[in-house]
Structure 1
């Protein structure tokens, strides 16, 4: 075995302190250290993580599961805000300016994101719309509310696609493809992480469908039209909606119609949301004897919903329990 011994210039070291060192254990960095007078061990530098910005916490969770240690993710919303009416902060602008990828849902959910991207001035930013390829559900708005607000149902479709786990799997695929494009070195790992997560998602979906199979009456009134994909997947029947347009107040006529319907049809459950003011659902409950169950459309808004899978489980189990009560 070849051995290399040397002394750092300017240092006085007794000969007995010299030890043979295998040449194979050193890199060229050791020779550089000799000439600089400072001896340091060679260091392996890992590639910097991919900087990703997402609009909502669902996308943060999906991205972190796929990307693992190779991504650094910032979510613009924390889970407590209303995604329709969110107003970006200066820190959001900075995050987008530094990012390599931005994941959005699209479908008009984040009406504020296009101006944020434009103002960030990041020409290399890859913007990925994760709802692409998902079969959409149109919103249906009562005529009296449409006349009052002057707005029509979305010409594209309801944007709350992630509340159906089947749709989340499509969104996950877009995340995996984008990360693999920007960071091809770890593409195989990203695909493996995607497959692992999809197995967990499939198992949870089967578990929750089995739980709801025991619930005979699945009729609900909801706070705002966030639930059509969730309802379709889990067999929930949405018979009424309190707020038919984000940021608007329901008319007195609409509320009275809901009260009459809840009483006549004996609807037992009103679904409120952690991101919305609970006042109107609570008024309806007092007037009709129905009970309010508070669910969440975004992870993190309620204790125990920190991940997407946690949120799905929480929403289904809370709703099933409320529907089963006499």
Structure 2
């Protein structure tokens, strides 16, 4: 009997040990698989600006880690590299740039031991819906064509590309309809050069443009003020990353609305994607147009009232003049009559 009990206890202990080993093995395999997926299924993409990084993040989703070198509030032409930028570029699976290969970009690549040929450069404007679609498509192609991209990742990138392009098409239709409704083609503006493509796409009447502040003289600003007053400019448009001092002065001197637009996602709260940024910029222009139209309407009403008052005054003074003439005439007649009498 004692031998049977010992045998049973041995079997139970063996079964428990086997179960524990199985659980440990399963956990180890799961952890190993997760680590493998985490290590191989994500591309580390380093972009020169948030324009590119925002698109990579939207297209890549869970299959990418993204970093932007230049913060959204900075002008890319005037950037000073940091040690962390060098390490990011050194570790990147994919490097993407646009606008230009500035001297600091060349220095950054050299410091990181990377070649300029490894930097995939995109070109052209990006701040209209249709231009943004081009950027989305080009970045999707870069992600899909990377050697580490598998079929699952490629399907995800392609699907995201389709959704984003559809969203941007719808946004274009929405903004074009609103611009027509407000009649922006009759609204005269003075526009900072880096926002011309967006402002002209919406249909505003661009009376003049101006370059970055460092390229302008006091005489240039005075000439724009005179032009703005003469042409009845309604809105002065600045670009946030280029500075807003010139636009502020122009708007104040002309008596126009002042609007500050952004060319880089993330510089202003609520502008984390290209679509968000474009919608924000359009909203700023549409609101300024509505304010100017309302002000113009109020001024027209005031002018009409003043004109009516002038007309009433003219009639009043005419009546006074007639009465005065009559009174003088009567006085003369009475004087003559008395003299004869």
TM-score between the two structures when normalised by the length of structure 1 = 0.75
* 1:284 and 2:250 correspond: yes
CA distance in 1, matches of 2:159, 2:42: 18
**CA deviation vs aligned residue, 1:237-286 (integer Å, no higher than 9, x gap):** 322223x2x46241122111100111011101111232233222222222
Which of the pair has more CA radius of gyration?
Answer: 2
Structure 2, unaligned stretches of length 5 or more?
Answer: 1-8, 296-341
State the Cα distance separating 1:195 from its structure 2 match: 0.7
CA distance in 1, matches of 2:41, 2:196: 40
* 1:234 and 2:202 correspond: yes
Q: 2:84 aligns with which of 91, 114, 127?
A: 91
State the Cα distance separating 1:109 from its structure 2 match: 6.9
Q: Which has the higher helix share?
A: 2
Counting only pairs closer than 5 Å after superposition, residues 72-111 of structure 1 correspond to structure 2 as 72-106=65-99, 108=100, 110-111=102-103
Counting only pairs closer than 5 Å after superposition, residues 184-199 of structure 1 correspond to structure 2 as 184-185=149-150, 186-199=153-166
Residue 132 of structure 2: aligned partner = 168
CA distance in 2, matches of 1:53, 1:321: 36
Contact in 2 for aligned 1:274/1:302 (Cα 8 Å): no
Structure 1, unaligned stretches of length 5 or more?
Answer: 1-12, 34-38, 135-160
CA distance in 1, matches of 2:222, 2:12: 96
Contact in 1 for aligned 2:127/2:274 (Cα 8 Å): no
Residue 300 of structure 2: aligned partner = none
State the Cα distance separating 1:114 from its structure 2 match: 2.5
CA distance in 2, matches of 1:286, 1:228: 21
TM-score between the two structures when normalised by the length of structure 2 = 0.72
Residue 62 of structure 2: aligned partner = 69
State the Cα distance separating 1:124 from its structure 2 match: 11
Moved over 6 A (4+): none
CA distance in 1, matches of 2:261, 2:208: 16
Residue 304 of structure 2: aligned partner = none
CA distance in 2, matches of 1:124, 1:15: 68
